[in-house]
Structure 1
Amino acid sequence: MTTETKPLGGRIALVAGATRGAGRGIAVALGAAGATVYVTGRTTRARASEVGRTTETIEETAELVTAAGGEGIAVPTDHLEIEQVRALVERIDKERGRLDVLVNDVWGGEHLIKFGEKFWETDLDGGLRMLELGVKTHAITSRLAVPLLVRHSGGLVVEVTDGTAEYNGTRFRENLFYDLAKNAPIRMAFGLAGGLAEVGCAAVAISPGWLRSEQMLEAFGVTEENWRDATAKVPGFGVAESPAYVGRAVAALAADPDRARWNGRSLSSGGLAKEYGFTDTDGSRPDAWGFLIAQETDENVSPDDYR
């Protein structure tokens, strides 16, 4: 199958924050569906970001996109720097003349999160940095990239976050700055929806479940090959999903001719798997948010019931 005959053949995508985790999974899945994918982030083979990881780079993500069947283009970008983002969008415009899918997955604030503290005890500088990384970056990127996206009808903006509107709306995410950072993308998608609908485009928020990101696997001392070993210590990890799962969710959404029906909605990888019929890499369909909600009233519920 040539790129042109794939579901997203000829489409141009920007995945902002594609160095690792969900962003990388989304970029690769879009590439597998035939898209040309610009992948951005701060960690390159020459320089690491404040996250401090050198094992994943945007160049590697771009190569994975190309190997999957698309075309990956790595562009080092700090999405807090307006002129860098402006130059990125201008480059896409010059090289492709359009943008069909914008994925806002910029984050990189895990090292700043401290749970179990009262708000007035938290580190203010670290908290404000979380808001910069998880909110300001998204606002800058959408403001500068959406004018290119709306030139053609059918454009899609995807705000990646942690938690759905249903889950986050009635539950405090333990750290106020983190809570704000992860609720803001949901409101961004909701706020963009009306204006985008008027020009034939759409915006959604999407959340993976318990993500087996590179950092999460490392924290548990396991790999993608033996990740189930971690359930001996944390049984709930049995509902975890690979980054490919949320990637397939975004690719399915982008390829849906009727994707505008989701405009303004808060979605999850597990929910979209039921809608579109795709699976995770092991053939299962994890529903982490369903499991977490069920666990609140039944401590004996099994993760296996939500795969």
Structure 2
Amino acid sequence: METEKPLTGRVALVAGATRGAGRAIAVQLAAAGATVYATGRTTREKRSEMGRAETIEETAELIGAAGGTGFAVPADHLEEEQVRAVAERIDREQGRLDILVNNVWGGDRLVGFGEANRMWEIRLEDGLRMLELGVKSHIVTSSVALPLLVRTRGGLVVEMTDGTAESNRDYRENFYFDLAKNAPVRMASNLAHELESVGGTAVCVTPGFLRSEAMLDHFGVTEPTWRDAIADEPHFAIAESPVFVGRAVAAVAADADRARWNGQSLSSGQLAAEYGFTDTDGSRPDAWRYISEVALGGADRSADDYR
């Protein structure tokens, strides 16, 4: 018989849980019963280089409001000693780690889509910073946290990215962004081989067209009024809330047979079709299929056909 909270007794570290997908993943894991350590650089006392107002303390409050248990832990995941302090705290307080979500990014401000964006036109400093934020941070976190995770069989590593392995075969408009978003796919594949020997699983998960706080601000809308942005960007009609990918990760974590996904690249829409969860509006947006067939392929269909 399934329990109401299938992740009760599990411990999760969500690296990069200040906002967006990371925040929603932390909340959904906690709502499913996991004890969640939510890390990030922006606190009520200090903002990261992104300059946004969302904080990890707010994430912990949302976890509490969802009936879960969570802790906000300030950490820069490029700093080994800070990550090591997080892992040591989890070990000291919980004695185990069952779920590691590598969601650190924070490089959107450096991408410059639609601008002079060829490799030789991008400042090397900006390009290398994207790789630090999107690749090095994940490597540092896994290197430090995996010794704790593998002490208990059945651990799960979730690498978060933007795009599926299939969609990312096409150029992602920016040399460094392309590398940063393809790397987690390969990291999950590599870790899958290594974790299998200790009963663990590694997957890569991507949201679709994410209605993050930054994206809503970009279009000048809020979550309740997000459809107003469709007039300016018709493809925004397929957009999904961060809760959708949060539910996707929680579903994989709660699946006793999740090893069947080992090493795979998975999307929120794909996982919704498999596990039956919905977005907050009751729909199941399959954004990457929509993007492939309609936005890029030119099919004469509406977003409603993919929800």
**When the two structures are superposed, what TM-score results if normalisation uses the length of structure 2?**
0.97
RMSD: 0.9
Alpha-carbon distance in 1 for matches of 2:15, 2:297: 37
1:1-307 mapped onto 2 (5 Å cutoff)? 6-54=5-53, 56-116=54-114, 117-169=117-169, 171-295=170-294, 296-298=296-298, 300-307=300-307
Tell me, what secondary structure is at the counterpart of 2:273? helix
Give the fraction of aligned pairs with identical amino acids, expressed as a percent: 68
Alpha-carbon distance in 1 for matches of 2:4, 2:219: 40
Unmatched segments (≥5 aa) in structure 2: none
The one-letter amino acid of 1:305's match is D
Q: Please report how far the alpha carbon of residue 137 of structure 1 lies from its aligned counterpart in structure 2 after TM superposition.
A: 0.1
8 Å contact from structure 1 (residues 64, 72) kept in 2: no
Q: Please report how far the alpha carbon of residue 168 of structure 1 lies from its aligned counterpart in structure 2 after TM superposition.
A: 0.4
Alpha-carbon distance in 2 for matches of 1:233, 1:89: 44
Alpha-carbon distance in 1 for matches of 2:70, 2:285: 28
The one-letter amino acid of 1:255's match is A
The one-letter amino acid of 1:88's match is V
Q: Please report how far the alpha carbon of residue 71 of structure 1 lies from its aligned counterpart in structure 2 after TM superposition.
A: 0.5
Alpha-carbon distance in 2 for matches of 1:139, 1:208: 21
Tell me, what secondary structure is at the counterpart of 1:102? strand
The one-letter amino acid of 1:286's match is P
Q: Please report how far the alpha carbon of residue 300 of structure 1 lies from its aligned counterpart in structure 2 after TM superposition.
A: 3.1
Q: Please report how far the alpha carbon of residue 66 of structure 1 lies from its aligned counterpart in structure 2 after TM superposition.
A: 1.7
Deviation per CA, 1:4-36, whole angstroms, max 9, x where unpaired?
851111110000000000000100100110111
The one-letter amino acid of 2:148's match is L
Unmatched segments (≥5 aa) in structure 1: none
8 Å contact from structure 1 (residues 12, 37) kept in 2: yes
Deviation per CA, 1:232-270, whole angstroms, max 9, x where unpaired?
111110000000000000000000000011000000000
Tell me, what secondary structure is at the counterpart of 1:180? helix
Q: Please report how far the alpha carbon of residue 271 of structure 1 lies from its aligned counterpart in structure 2 after TM superposition.
A: 0.2
Q: Please report how far the alpha carbon of residue 52 of structure 1 lies from its aligned counterpart in structure 2 after TM superposition.
A: 0.3
Tell me, what secondary structure is at the counterpart of 2:292? helix
8 Å contact from structure 1 (residues 271, 287) kept in 2: yes
8 Å contact from structure 1 (residues 189, 264) kept in 2: yes
The one-letter amino acid of 1:20's match is R
Alpha-carbon distance in 2 for matches of 1:219, 1:163: 20
8 Å contact from structure 1 (residues 33, 69) kept in 2: no
Alpha-carbon distance in 1 for matches of 2:180, 2:93: 33
Deviation per CA, 1:53-94, whole angstroms, max 9, x where unpaired?
12x100110111121121010110000000000111011000
Alpha-carbon distance in 2 for matches of 1:265, 1:64: 30
Tell me, what secondary structure is at the counterpart of 1:165? coil
Alpha-carbon distance in 1 for matches of 2:83, 2:282: 38
Q: Please report how far the alpha carbon of residue 195 of structure 1 lies from its aligned counterpart in structure 2 after TM superposition.
A: 1.0
Q: Please report how far the alpha carbon of residue 118 of structure 1 lies from its aligned counterpart in structure 2 after TM superposition.
A: 1.4
Q: Please report how far the alpha carbon of residue 221 of structure 1 lies from its aligned counterpart in structure 2 after TM superposition.
A: 0.4
The one-letter amino acid of 2:211's match is R
Q: Please report how far the alpha carbon of residue 95 of structure 1 lies from its aligned counterpart in structure 2 after TM superposition.
A: 0.5
